[in-house]
Amino acid sequence: MIWWLYNLVFPVAYALLLPHFFLRMWRRGGYRRDFCQRFARYRREAAALLDAPGRPVWIQAVSVGELAVAFSLMDELRRIDPAVRFVLTCNTSTGHALALQRLAPPDATLYFPMDVPGVMRRALDRIRPSAIVLVENEIWPNWIRCAGKRGIPAIMVNGRISTHSHKGYRKLRCFTRDLLPRIRWFCMQTDGDRDRLLDLGAPADRMEITGSAKYDISPTPPEARDRARAVLDRAGVGRGRRILVGGSTWDGEEAALLDFYARNRAAHPDWFLVLVPRHAERRAAVLEAIAARKLTVLQRSQFPDGAPAPAEVPDVLLVDTTGELRGFYAAADVVFVGKSLTQTGGQNPIEPARDGRPVVVGPHMENFPGISDDFARAGAWVQVKDAQELGETLERLLSTPAECVRLGSAAAALVDARAGATRRMAERIHALRIR
C-alpha cells in the first residue's frame, strides 16, 4: 500500500514540476540536450561508456555541494582499486556541467533518472552497478528498492539529516521504517545525524560515525588560484589591494555586501569586492543592484581569459561563470559564504577554510549543523546575526591582516584535524560492492 501510494503521487508531482524544469532549460541552458537521461534514455556517447567492461559504482550527488564529496570519494576508491569505474549522477544542470568538466572516460556523468519503477529498472539494466552510493540524504525510494531486489548494495555516505528534515520525515515513519532497512550501510557525520535516522527506522547494527567527508577536500589547485589572480591582475586590481569575496551568494546578500562596500570604498580605496552568485543566471538582478549604488562592474562572462584589460579599473568583479569559485576563494583576503544571511541553509564553509582563508557567515547554517559546531568551538570563523554586524565584522577583518591570518590558520587547522572520513567511507564501499 505504501509503495503504491508513492508510485502514484511521485509521477504526478514530477509532471507538475515539468514546467519548472522547462523554464530552467530556457534560463540556464544545459538541460535540453541530455534531458532524456531523466527517463534512462542515453545518447551514443553516454551509451558507449555504459557498455564498458565491469560493473561501475553508481554515485548520486544532487548538486555542486555534494559533488565535492563525490569527487573525493571517487579518488579514494581509485586508490584502493585502480580498475574501478564510476557512473556519477546529479539533478541540476550546474552540477552536471561541473561533473562533465571533472570526469573522463571510462567514468560517465549522467542526470539522475526519474524515480519510478519502470525508469529505474531501465537505468539499472543499462548501468549494471556494483553498488549504489547515496551522498548525504539522497534517499530515492524506487532506486533503493529496485537495486535491493537485484542484490545491489546501497550505501549512504556522509549521511546527515537536519532537525528540520527529521520533523518532516517523522510524519512518514510508516514509510521510512520500510525503506531505511533496505540500505546496506550508513556512514553518518555526527551522533545527532545517527540518532535522528535511527528514530526513523534505520537499523542500529548498520550504522557508523565516520565524520564529514567535506573536510577531506583537496586544497584549491594552484592553476585555479593563479587563473583567478590573473583575472584580477588584468582587471587592474593590484596585488596590494585587499580582496573581499562574497561566495555562493543569494538574493539580498549581494545588496548587503554592496552597501558595505559602497559606504567604505572612499575611506579604503585598497579594498576590492568580488561577487560570485550561487546561480549565474541571476546576473541581471546583481548587475541592477550594482548599478543602483553607482558602482562600475566587470562581468567575468564578458571578460574571458586573454581578453584585453578594461579601460578603467572596475569597482566590482561579478563572476557570473561556473566552476571558478574556489580559485577566487584562494585569492581572497576575506570570504563571506552565502545563503546564510538572508536565506536559510548555508553553503560549504570548508572550501575557503581549507586554503586558510578567514570565513564569515550569517546566522543560517542549518545544512551544516555538525560542521557549524566544529567551527564555533575552534574559533575558526565569525558568525554574524545580521547585515549590520556583517559590515562591522568585514570592516574589522579587512583592516586587521593579523586577525585574518589568525582566523584563517584556525580554519585550516580544523580542516586538517577532521580529515579522514572519506577513506573510511571508501573502505566500506569497497568491502560491500559486488565483484
* Domains along the chain with CATH numbers: 10-212+419-432 (3.40.50.11720), 222-417 (3.40.50.2000)
Q: What angle do CA 249, 226, 213 make, to 5 degrees?
A: 55
Report how far residue 128's alpha carbon sits from residue 154's, in angstroms, rounded to the nearest whole number: 13
Chain mean pLDDT for the chain: 92
For residue 316, give Cα distances in angstroms to 1, 69, 343. 57, 31, 23
Report how far residue 121's alpha carbon sits from residue 102's, in angstroms, rounded to the nearest whole number: 28
Residue 28: the pLDDT is 57
SS3 273: strand
In the predicted model, what is the mean pLDDT of residues 386-410?
97
DSSP conformation class of 247:
E
Q: What are phi and psi of 307, to 5 degrees?
A: -70, 150
Report how far residue 331's alpha carbon sits from residue 244's, in angstroms, rounded to the nearest whole number: 9
Burial 126-141 (b: 16+ CB within 10 A, else e): bbbbbbbbbbbbbbbb
Q: Classify residue 379 as left (phi > 0), alpha (psi -120 to 50) or beta.
A: left
- Write the DSSP string, 155-186: EEEEE---HHHHHHHHTTHHHHHHHGGGSSEE
Lowest mean pLDDT: which of 205-209, 342-346, 424-428?
Answer: 342-346
- With cell 528534515, the residue in question is 165
Number of Cβ within a 10 Å radius of residue 55: 17
For residue 102, give Cα distances in angstroms to 74, 111, 134, 325, 368. 11, 15, 19, 15, 25
Residue 32: the pLDDT is 62
CB 117 within 8 A of CB 142: yes
Which is catalytic among the residues 66, 138, 253, 351?
66
Residue 22: the pLDDT is 62
Q: What angle do CA 185, 146, 92 make, to 5 degrees?
A: 80
DSSP conformation class of 386:
S
Residue 395: the pLDDT is 97
Give bridge partners of residue 186 from the DSSP assignment. Answer: 156, 207
Of 148, 124, 147, nearest in space to 50 by CA: 124
Count of H-run helices and E-run strands, the chain: 18, 14
DSSP conformation class of 294:
T
Going across the sheet that includes 316-318, the strands are: 297-299, 316-318, 271-277, 242-249, 334-337, 359-361, 382-383
CB 39 within 8 A of CB 123: no
Residue 58 has pLDDT above 60, yes or no: yes
> Residues for the chain: how many in total?
435
Residue 144 has pLDDT above 80, yes or no: yes
Give bridge partners of residue 57 from the DSSP assignment. Answer: 86, 131
Tell me: the pLDDT tens digits for 222-241? 999 999 999 999 999 999 99
H or E stretch including 157?
strand 154-159
Residue 321: the pLDDT is 94
Q: Which band of pLDDT confidence, cut at 50, 70 and 90, is reported for residue 217? A: confident
Report how far residue 313's alpha carbon sits from residue 244's, in angstroms, rounded to the nearest whole number: 16
Report how far residue 191's alpha carbon sits from residue 5's, in angstroms, rounded to the nearest whole number: 32
Residue 163: the pLDDT is 85
In the predicted model, what is the mean pLDDT of residues 37-63?
90
The share of the chain scoring above pLDDT 70, in percent, equals: 94
Residue 16 has pLDDT above 80, yes or no: no
CB 328 within 8 A of CB 300: no
- With cell 580559485, the residue in question is 327
Tell me: the pLDDT tens digits for 309-349? 999 999 999 999 988 999 999 999 999 999 999 999 999 99
Residue 108 has pLDDT above 60, yes or no: yes
CB 156 within 8 A of CB 183: yes
Residue 66 annotated in active site: yes
Report how far residue 423's alpha carbon sits from residue 435's, in angstroms, rounded to the nearest whole number: 20
- With cell 540500505, the residue in question is 183
Q: Classify residue 51 as left (phi > 0), alpha (psi -120 to 50) or beta.
A: alpha
